[in-house]
């Protein structure tokens, strides 16, 4: 074994595959539960879009978390994993009728609504089922986040949410719809946020909007501030578990909740990101004109984040203790963007070595594709390899 990896067990598996350190996952979940346990009114829903592996979802359900879903498929995955329907929230800017009907069928906790047309459709479908749909309005707070442009969601230019200017009008409509129950307000400003000042800015905006509602004698039961807490991609071992204490403290110190209001979070990457690694085998070491390439059997089909976001994942040669050399680490896909990293220092690489791409437990396996007619990589947990 090298570091956290049972390398002797890996030799029996077809690469590439995802490996999940479930001991770390459980420690992360225990930390989350301990920190929210300091507050009587905090509730965490795991963002299924980060990783929907059934074994991972089951462990998260065992820890007592609810789920945040953005598709009917994610609702089905949550139910299959045993997540109680009254802990499921359904977000997303484009909910299809069958997905809404699915949520209504299971009596999920809440629909996070993003537009007037969506609200009207939910009312119509709820009436057809003879049900009342709980809704929270996703408000676009026009708050920027210090993260990649492709994963900001809280700016006025983004497709997500209802504008602050439109909020009162939407509430007026909701209060007139017989099969709608308005229970909360929802926000989400982006992903991989490490600057706590971004969350302070969100708190300030939520306080402002709550004051506007209070002047209308409206106090919602639930405030949902989304997620977005980032992880340390450069040093996964140094901070394997994010600083949840500091994160939740921001909201405790800066968000002005009314009595009996419940505060909801939708955390994804910060829960599963560090527990997963993509394990790949070296196919060839190719000498270029002025550099050498380590060509892996994993590619952008298996982990698209570097190609999509120019994301960094720490890489380790887990089968070599030789001296460090420098490589461009690439995959086999017929696309120039199929590059995991350039000028990467690794213990000397040889054909057959195993390379671990760290911090891949979120937006890794879940985003894999079969482009080039490739198989989707399997996911294995610590327990699978005992």
Tokens describing residue 307: 């190609």
Name the nearest CA neighbour of 4 among 230, 236, 232: 236
155 DSSP 8-state letter: S
Question: Whose CA is closest to 101, among 69, 123, 79, 77?
Answer: 123
- The pTM (predicted TM-score) of the whole model is 0.93
Tokens standing for 169? 């009008």
List the helix and strand counts (H, then E) for the chain.
Answer: 11, 17
Residues 321-354: b if buried by 16+ CB within 10 A, e if exposed: eeeebebbbbbbbeeeebbbbeebebbebeeebb
Query: Residue ranges of the alpha helices (H) in the chain?
Result: 7-10, 22-36, 54-62, 72-80, 97-106, 116-129, 167-176, 196-215, 244-254, 269-272, 305-309
Token pair 């809440």: residue? 110
**Of 181, 185, 180, whose CA–CA distance to 166 is shortest?**
185
Q: What CA dihedral angle connects 366, 367, 369 and 375, to 10 degrees? A: -30
SS3 string, 15-72, reads CCEEEECHHHHHHHHHHHHHHHCCCCCEEEEEEHHHCCCHHHHHHHHHCCCEEEECCH
pLDDT of residue 368: 98
Closest to 303 in 3D by CA, of 19, 87, 10: 19
Mean pLDDT by 10 residues, the chain (386 residues): 81 96 98 96 97 98 98 98 98 96 98 95 98 95 54 46 86 96 94 93 93 94 96 96 97 96 98 98 94 97 96 97 97 97 98 98 98 98 93
**Nearest Cα to 255, choosing from 200, 203, 201, 208?**
203
Could you give the CA distance from residue 128 to residue 345 in angstroms, rounded to a whole number?
A: 60
Q: What is the pLDDT of residue 3?
A: 64
Domains detected in the chain? 7-15+274-385 (2.40.37.10), 22-273 (3.20.20.10)
The pLDDT of residue 152 is 45
Contacts of 126 (CB under 8 A, 6+ apart): 104, 132, 133, 179, 180
Helix 97-106 vs helix 116-129: crossing angle, to nearest 10: 50
pLDDT at 98: 98
DSSP 107: T
Q: Which residue has the tokens 């140094």?
A: 238
pLDDT of amino acid 149: 47
């Amino acid at each position: 074994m090298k570091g956290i990896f049972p390398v002797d067990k890996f030799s029996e598996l077809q690469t590439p595959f995802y490996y999940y350190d479930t001991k770390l996952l459980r420690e992360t979940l225990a930390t989350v539960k301990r920190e929210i346990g300091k507050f009587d009114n905090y509730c965490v829903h795991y963002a299924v879009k980060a990783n929907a592996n059934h074994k991972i979802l089951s462990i998260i359900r065992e820890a007592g978390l609810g789920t945040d879903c953005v598709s009917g498929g994610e609702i089905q995955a949550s139910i299959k994993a045993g997540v109680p329907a009254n802990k499921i929230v359904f977000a997303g800017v484009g909910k299809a009728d069958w997905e809404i009907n699915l949520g209504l069928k299971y009596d999920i906790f809440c629909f996070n609504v993003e537009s007037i047309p969506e609200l009207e459709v939910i009312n119509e479908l709820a009436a057809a089922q003879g049900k009342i749909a709980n809704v929270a309005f996703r408000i676009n707070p026009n708050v920027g986040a210090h993260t990649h442009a492709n994963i900001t969601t809280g700016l006025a230019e983004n497709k997500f949410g209802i504008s602050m200017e439109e909020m009162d009008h939407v509430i007026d409509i909701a209060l007139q719809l017989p099969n709608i129950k308005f229970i909360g307000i929802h926000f989400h400003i982006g992903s991989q946020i490490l600057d706590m000042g971004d969350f302070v800015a969100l708190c300030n905006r939520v306080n402002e909007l709550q004051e506007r509602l209070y002047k209308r004698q409206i106090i919602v039961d639930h405030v949902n501030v989304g997620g977005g807490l980032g992880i340390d991609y450069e040093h996964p071992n140094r901070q394997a578990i994010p600083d949840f204490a500091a994160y939740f403290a921001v909201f405790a110190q800066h968000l002005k909740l009314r009595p009996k209001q419940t505060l909801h979070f939708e955390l994804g990457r910060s829960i599963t990101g560090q527990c997963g690694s993509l394990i790949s085998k070296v196919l060839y070491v190719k000498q270029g004109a002025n550099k050498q390439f380590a060509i892996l059997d994993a590619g952008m089909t298996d982990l698209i984040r570097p190609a999509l976001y120019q994301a960094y994942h720490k890489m380790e040669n887990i089968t070599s203790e030789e001296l460090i050399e420098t490589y461009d680490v690439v995959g086999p896909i017929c696309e120039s963007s199929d590059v995991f990293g350039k000028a990467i220092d690794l213990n000397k690489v040889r054909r057959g070595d195993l390379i671990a791409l760290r911090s891949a437990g979120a937006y890794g396996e879940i985003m894999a594709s079969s482009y080039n007619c490739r198989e989707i990589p399997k996911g294995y947990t610590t327990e699978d390899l005992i």
